[in-house]
Amino acid sequence: MKKLIAITTVFAILSGCELYEQDEYQEYYVVESYLIANGNLQQVRLSTTNPIDETYQFEDNAISGATVEIQRLNPDSSVAEEYSYQQQQPGIYTPVNNITVKATQLYRLQVTTQNGDEISATTYVPGNFETINELEPGYVYQGQQQVELTTTPSSYITDRQTYFIFTINALDTNPNNLTPFYADQVDDDETDVEEYYVNSSGIVNEGNFEQNPDGTITLRLPWLAVAFYGSNNIIVNAIDDNLYDFLRSHDTQSGGTTLSPGEIQNIRYNVNGGIGIFGSMASDTNGTFIARP
C-alpha cells in the first residue's frame, strides 16, 4: 500500500468482490475518515459505489445534504460528547469546531442521509507512544545499519499486540532521488512520481520485533518503504482494529495471499449501513537522511 491516508481509490477498484456475488448490482454508501491521537478531527468523505463497468469519480458519486457527527463515547458506550460536522463541498464534511482527538478513547461516526439511511462505525484510538532513542543523522540505503526506532508501548482496549505501519514523508522529491524499486515503477508504469511523496509500509506486528527488558520495543524500518534518497520524515503509526482489518483483508483481495479465489475472504470494513473505513491511529515522527549506496 503506497499511501495510508488515501484509501478511497481502493474502494473504487475493489467495490469489493462481495458486492458482485449477487445477481444484480447493489449500491453501497462509502465513508472514509481517520482519527489521529492528539490531532484535530478530520474530514468525513461520503459517496456511493459504482457498477463495476463504470468509472468511479468521487465528485460524481458524492452524497450531499447528510447529517454527520462524531461522538466520543464513555466506556459503557453512552455518549460523552458530540461534535457536529458541516458540508464543505459535495461529499466532504468538516468539523464545525477544532476538537482534539484523545488517545485511548472510543469514538463513533454517525451519518444520516437525506433519505433517512443511517451509516455508523466505531473506533478505539490507540494509546500514545514515543521514540526514546535518537536516530543517526544518516543511513545508507539497504546498508548494514538499519533504521531502528525504540518506542514505548502503545496500549489498546484489548490485550492484543500492537500493529504498526511506517509512513515515509519524503522531503527531497526530485525524481532523480527515487530508490531503484520506485524508479522502475515510474519508468515502467508511467506512474506519477507524486504518488510516492508519502509512502507506507505494510502492517508490521509488534511480536516480530525485539521486546526490551524495560518494556520498550525496537522497530526496524523496512527498506521497501523508502521511496526517495535524501531527507525523510519517518512516521510510526500504531493502528486500530478497523485499519488492521481493512488493510489485511485488502491485501488478501489484491494478491497478497496464496489462497485460491474461493477461499479469499471479503474485505472487512466494520461499517454499519455501508462500506469504507472509520479508523484511528497514534503516531510519532522522526527525521533522518537516507544516502545512496
Give pLDDT tens digits for 199-227.
998 899 988 888 999 999 999 999 999 99
The model's pTM is 0.85
Residue 53: its pLDDT value, please? 83
Which tens digits make up the pLDDT trace of 66-102? Answer: 999 999 999 999 999 999 999 999 999 999 999 999 9
Q: Are 157 and 140 in contact (CB under 8 A)?
A: no
Report which of 93, 121, 116, 87 is spatially closest to residue 275, judged by C-alpha positions. 121
CA distance 105 to 41: 13
What single string gives the DSSP state of each residue in 222-282? -GGG--BSEEEEEEEEEE-HHHHHHHHHHHHHTT-S---GGGPPPP----BTSEEEEEEEE
Do residues 133 and 71 lie in contact, with contact meaning Cβ atoms separated by under 8 Å? Answer: no
The span from the CA of 190 to the CA of 170, in Å, is: 20
First to last CA, the chain: 25
Report the range out of 9-13, 57-61, 228-232 with the highest average pLDDT. Answer: 228-232
- List of domains in the chain: 8-127+254-281 (no CATH), 138-239+283-291 (2.60.40.10)
Single-letter amino acid code for the residue at 101: V
Mark out the alpha helices in the chain (DSSP H runs): 8-13, 58-61, 180-189, 241-253
d(CA 128, CA 109): 21
SS (H, E, C) 31-49: EEEEEECCCECCCEEEEEC
